[in-house]
Amino acid sequence: AKIAQAALEALDTPLPARAEFAQARIDEMVENRMDEKLNYADFLRVLQFKDTEGKILAWMVFMAAHPTLFPASDLLYSADFPGVINSELERLAADSVSLFINGAAGDLRPKTGEFQDRTERVKAYGLAVAEKIKSLSFKEVQLQKGLWKSLVEKKKLPRVKVRLGKVRIPTFIGARVFP
């Protein structure tokens, strides 16, 4: 109820703001978990909103990668690497809020180095993405009033690959189950 009330109040009292956009390829930060040789162009896209004095009010971070660096076997609730990204951006710009929006991740996962400590792995990856965001060159964009339109990107995907745990099911069977 508190979130809904805050959203309604925000709609009733909008702040004047401008939007800035930046993007960068992050192929080196994301990999296909089913076939590491498959390399798709992946982008990190960021909208930041600033007030009339240039103070950052909010961030919207768009990235396609499963936010699951902590394994399910840990049985812990975690914001995983998006939580690290959001915390770092909010620390960078006091009183701002950051929102991570996961894109169509499919089989994409974060590409990380080897770490003995899983918590350090999550933190290092989230900070690396945040550093990438900090290095972007933002350009002002004009937001259209009213409803936003979506962007549809079509990509040719590889044939379906199916796994049962660590066992890979042959493609000719997987393609019959998941055409």
Amino acid 28 reads E
- 99/45 Cα distance (integer angstroms): 12
Q: For residue range 9-51, list pLDDT tens digits in order.
A: 888 888 888 999 999 999 899 988 877 777 777 899 999 999 9
- Predicted confidence at residue 152, as pLDDT, reads 80
What is the pTM assigned to this prediction?
0.79
- 3/10 Cα distance (integer angstroms): 10
The first and second tokens of residue 160, run together, are 């379906």
Contact status, residue 128 vs residue 26, Cβ threshold 8 Å: no
Which residue shows structure tokens 């590409």? 111
Q: For residue range 72-99, list pLDDT tens digits in order.
A: 788 788 899 999 999 999 999 999 999 9
pLDDT above 70 coverage of the chain, percent: 85
Amino acid 26 reads I
Q: What does 87-142 look like in DSSP terms, one character per residue?
A: HHHHHHSTT-EEEEEE---TTEEE-----SSHHHHHHHHHHHHHHHHHT---EEEP
Spell out a b/e string for 87-116, using b for 16 or more CB atoms within 10 Å of the CB, else e: bbbbeebeebebebeeeebebbbbbeeeee
Amino acid 64 reads A
- Predicted confidence at residue 20, as pLDDT, reads 96
175: confidence class by pLDDT, cuts 50, 70, 90: low
